[in-house]
Amino acid sequence: MSLLSRGRRCGDAAATAARQLLLGPQGRVSGSHVCNQYRASGSLPEEKKEFLQNGPDLQDFVSGDLSDKSTWAEYKGNLKRQKGERLRLPPWLKTKIPMGKNYNKLKNTLRSLNLHTVCEEARCPNIGECWGGGEYATATATIMLMGDTCTRGCRFCSVKTAKNPPPLDPEEPYNTAKAIAEWGLDYVVLTSVDRDDMADGGAEHFAKTVSHLKERNSKILVECLTPDFRGDLKAVEKVALSGLDVYAHNVETVPELQRKVRDPRASFEQSVRVLKHAKEVQPGVISKTSIMLGLGETDEQVYATLKLLREADVDCLTLGQYMQPTKRHLKVEEYVTPEKFKYWEKVGNDLGFHYTASGPLVRSSYKAGEFFLKNLVEKRKTKAI
C-alpha cells in the first residue's frame, strides 16, 4: 500500500473516531458534550471565551478546511533573519501534501518515459496544486530537459550538479511530446539544467522538443525557460526561432546580489542580453523573467531592477519568496509578507509589464500565470496587443 493511501486511511479513521466521540446517535453534538463545554468555559476569561466562539467549529474540522488567512497579520514570528538565526516558516508559506488522481497520473507517466520535472528536482511548493489541477482543474507540469544534473552550482538551487553530466537522451524530445499529448495540455513549459559541457548548451535539444510538440499539436502553446547558454546569442536565436510562444529566462535576483546567489558564470547583464536578443530575432515572442525575494535585497534595488527589465522590453514578470531547499543552501534573509508582494504586483503593472504575478508561492512556472499567458499569446497572434 502506498504511503499516500495509508495516510488517507489513517486520516479517515481519525475523522471517524472524532465523529463517534463528539456526535450523538443522530449525528448531532451530544448534550453532555455541550454541557461540559459550557461548564468549562464558564470559568474562562472573557478574552478566551471570545476566542473560542470565533474559532473553528466541528464542521470545520470534519471538512478539513482550517486555513484562516485573517491570522496572517497577527503572526508574531521574526520575518528578518538575525545573525546565526534560522527563520521559522510563516503560515502563508505552508502548503498541503500533494495527492490526487491527476498528480499520480502525471507522476507515473513521467517515470515510465524517464522524464524529469523542475517541479520535483527544485522541490517546488506548488507541485500539489499544479499537478493535481488545483483551482483550474487542469494539470500543469514544467518538464526539465537534458537530464537532472546541472553543470552549475547556484547557491539557491537544489538540482544536482556535476562537471560532466550523463550524455543527452536522444529520445527525450520525442518522449516529451508523447507525454504531453497523453495529458492533453494546451500550454506547456519546457526548461532545463545548464549544460556548459555542450557546444551549444543544449539549444538544439530545446528546438527539437518544440518542433515535435508543434508537429503533434499545432495549437499547443509552448514556453521555454532557458539557461543563459553562456551568453551565446546564436544558441538563444536557435531556441527563439524554434516555434515557441514564450521565451523565459530568469535573472533570479537584483544585480547587487548576483555573485552571492548565482553561479559565477551567470550575471544580470548576460541574462538581460539573452532576453533582449530573443525579442530582437523574434519580435512576436513574449519574454518573461522571474525574481526571488527574501535574499537580502532592498526595496530600492528591487524597483531599480524592475525598471531595467522593462527598459529591456521584458513582457512578463513573476516575483516569489525564496525558500531554502536544504541546510547547505543560502539562508532566507527575510520572509516577505503577502501585502508586500501585492505592492510589487502593482509596481510591476504600473511600470508597464503586460503581466506581473507576485506572491509568496509564485514561481517562474506557476500555473496561474500560464492561464493568463495563454490569452496573452493568442492576443499577440491576432495583433490585439
- Please list the alpha-helical segments (H only) found in 166-253: 172-183, 203-216, 233-240
Q: How many CB atoms lie within 10 A of CB 238?
A: 18
The dihedral over CA atoms of 271, 289, 189, 245, expressed in degrees to the nearest 10, equals: -90
Whole-model pTM over 0.75: no
Please report how the helices 338-351 and 299-311 are oriented relative to each other, as an axis angle in degrees rounded to 10. Answer: 30
* Alpha-carbon span 225 to 313, nearest angstrom: 17
Q: How many CB atoms lie within 10 A of CB 155?
A: 14
pLDDT tens, per residue, the chain with 385 residues:
444 444 444 444 444 433 343 344 444 444 344 444 434 445 566 655 555 555 544 444 333 444 455 555 667 677 787 777 777 777 766 655 444 555 555 566 665 656 655 554 445 555 545 544 444 444 456 788 998 889 998 887 878 889 999 999 999 999 888 888 777 777 788 999 999 999 999 999 999 999 999 999 888 889 999 999 999 999 999 999 999 999 999 999 999 999 999 999 999 999 999 999 999 999 999 999 999 999 999 999 999 999 999 999 999 999 999 988 888 888 999 999 999 999 999 999 999 999 898 988 886 655 545 656 777 777 777 765 5
